Amino acid sequence: MSVTRYTNDHEWVRQDADVAVIGITDYAQQQLGDVVYVELPDIGRQLEQGKEAAIVESAKAASELYAPVSGEVVAVNETILGNPALVNEDAMGEGWFIKLRLADPKQLDALMDETSYQAFVAEQG
Amino acid sequence: MADSADSPALRRTPLHDLHVALGARIVAFAGYEMPLQYRPGIIAEHLHTRSKAGLFDVSHMGQIRLHGGAAAALERLVPGDLQALAPGQMRYTLLLSEQGGILDDLMATRTGDGLLLVVNAARKEADLAHLEAHLDRAITIEPRFERALLALQGPAAAAVLARFAAGVERLPFMTGAEVSVCGISCFVTRSGYTGEDGFELSVAGDDAVALADILLNEAEVAPIGLGARDSLRLEAGLCLYGHDIDETTTPVEAALPWTIGKRRRAEGGFPGAAIIVQQLADGPGRRRVGLRPDGRAPAREGTAILDAAGAPLGRVTSGGFGPSVGAPVAMGYVAAAHTAPGTPLSLVVRDVPRPARVAALPFVPARYYRA
């Protein structure tokens, strides 16, 4: 069973062997409100941890999704390009953004686990 | 439209506690704590207003009553033909600077020899000072900022309001009347800011919650926040002060020449008249237009507009996703040669020029009441 890790920027990352699936958290989609547009990176692009990886726009504003870990883009979720509302409906599942081949799996260890992230969200009020 | 959230003393409308109880997400707007959205969210609230009826708290807007020979007096500050208004009739008009720039946009309703004005929240103190400085001393200026203002908008609005005020459904578009709604004394106008049929109800602050409860209790009515108010007015092609119009834009540039009455064009006698009459004759150098991106990326306020060859044409002044259009929509100013609907241009979003076209306004057909 793969473990899900979280960032301070409200991204989640789930490891499956040497591939990581990345998305925004349920808390993030609630804060954004209706997602109306997403922009995803090209397959093959090298993403660097902490740098902009995708764009997510709500009815009110545009925001960035930052790469929680470094790696090469091996897949993007084309379904959310045509149906951005899926990010609201299932942020932690069908509304994923990017799959990466991990450059350094140890980067995951420094991210928050579920318990830490829930505590972090609770502090946001 | 999200103004600074850290300003010290934010005011609240009489409906504030109701917004909180209804699950609103509260934001700072024009010095007030206002509901951005409720639990259904901006898109659902927008679509609800277009299909049924939405109730908006717009009590942050400024209500001002002018007593005396107000129509003739106010004409010295605005280009609208106010003297042509019969009692009960209302008009959209503009406070102008001496350079013909727009100081505010407002609604003016004639009541006997007086006028009821509704002005923008962020401009109400400035407007009051402007009126006090420039209106004839014979005119009494009565600010009524403590009053509440509710908007009931959408195709079901007339049927809903008529349940509590029989006959209100026959009130003509752009007129107002004193109406008792379930015993609550209101000044009701057939007007709004959504492109839909609907009403605005001016009511004493103390009666606002009771009136809102009566209306929200009806099956067709849902509370609607500022987020959907903005997307509704954008699709309707209506200007937002401080964004689409301001002191640097004239009514002609803003594609609002219809606000300049025929008699006023001939007689002048309003601020900036020489500049505005010249622009009416020669055409403005730039004009506000609708914009439709070809792709799905919204083009927001401040986005640069380029012509087909990449030369700058102007900037987007309002933009976002249009829920009823199902695509991004925007408005902005472009050089006069590029204002025809269908003209290809590009919008620079995140440093990438993206194809778009000039589009006719409004983006969705207006559905105002016609008797």
Residue with tokens 């929509």: B329
Label residue B8 by pLDDT band (50, 70, 90). low
Q: Find the CATH number of the domain harbouring B325.
A: 2.40.30.110
Q: Which helix (H) or strand (E) holds A99?
A: strand A98-102
Q: What is the rounded CA–CA span in Å between residue A40 and residue A59? A: 18
Give how far A37 is from chain B: nearest CA, Å.
Answer: 6
Closest CA to A92 of A13, A2, A37: A13
- Domain of B351 in residue numbering reads as 285-371
B96 and B124 co-located in one domain: yes
| Tokens (6 digits) for A114 | 């579920």
Report whether A21 contacts A95 (CB < 8 A): no
Structure-model confidence comparison of residues B346 and B6, the more confident one: B346
Chain A positions in Cβ-Cβ contact with residue B320 (cut-off 8 Å):
36, 59-60
Label residue A37 by pLDDT band (50, 70, 90). very high
| Tokens (6 digits) for B225 | 């926040």
Q: Evaluate whether residue B242 is within a structural domain.
A: no
Chain A positions in Cβ-Cβ contact with residue B36 (cut-off 8 Å):
60
CA atoms within a 13 Å half-sphere pointing along the CA-CB vector of B17:
5
Label residue B3 by pLDDT band (50, 70, 90). very low
Beta strand extents in B11-75 (DSSP E only): 11-12, 25-29, 32-37, 53-57, 62-67
Chain B positions in Cβ-Cβ contact with residue A39 (cut-off 8 Å):
297, 350
Q: Which domains does chain A have, with CATH numbers?
A: 4-109 (2.40.50.100)
Contact map slice: B 58-77 vs A, CB within 8 A = none
Q: ipTM score of the complex?
A: 0.91
Chain B positions in Cβ-Cβ contact with residue A61 (cut-off 8 Å):
300
| Residue B7, number of CB atoms within 10 A of its CB | 9
Chain B positions in Cβ-Cβ contact with residue A62 (cut-off 8 Å):
298, 300, 350
| Residue B182, number of CB atoms within 10 A of its CB | 13
Q: Evaluate whether residue B191 is within a structural domain.
A: yes
Q: Evaluate whether residue B243 is within a structural domain.
A: no
Q: Find the CATH number of the domain harbouring B89.
A: 3.30.70.1400
Q: What is the pLDDT of residue B371?
A: 79
In chain B, pLDDT over 90 holds for what percent of residues?
A: 96
CB distance from B320 to chain A under 8 Å? yes
For residue B297, give the nearest of A39, A60, A61 by CB distance: A39
B122 and B156 co-located in one domain: no
Check whether B7 has a pLDDT greater than 70: no
* Residues A66-123 pLDDT 10s: 999 999 999 999 999 999 999 999 999 999 999 999 999 999 999 999 999 999 999 9
| Residue A78, number of CB atoms within 10 A of its CB | 9
- Cβ within 8 Å, pair B37-A57: no
Give how far A105 is from chain B: nearest CA, Å.
Answer: 31
B156 and B48 co-located in one domain: yes
Structure-model confidence comparison of residues A1 and B363, the more confident one: B363
Report whether B49 contacts B194 (CB < 8 A): yes
B226 and B197 co-located in one domain: yes
Report whether B291 contacts B313 (CB < 8 A): no
Closest CA to B81 of B211, B268, B236: B268
CA-based nearest residue in chain B for residue A85: B43
Residue B307 φ/ψ, nearest 5 degrees: -80, 180
Q: What is the mean pLDDT of residues B165-189?
A: 97
Q: What is the pLDDT of residue B314?
A: 97
* Residues B227-280 pLDDT 10s: 999 999 999 999 999 999 999 999 999 999 999 999 999 999 999 999 999 999
Report whether B47 contacts B324 (CB < 8 A): yes
B216 and B349 co-located in one domain: no
| Residue B218, number of CB atoms within 10 A of its CB | 18
Q: Which amino acid is at B59?
A: S
CA-based nearest residue in chain B for residue A56: B297
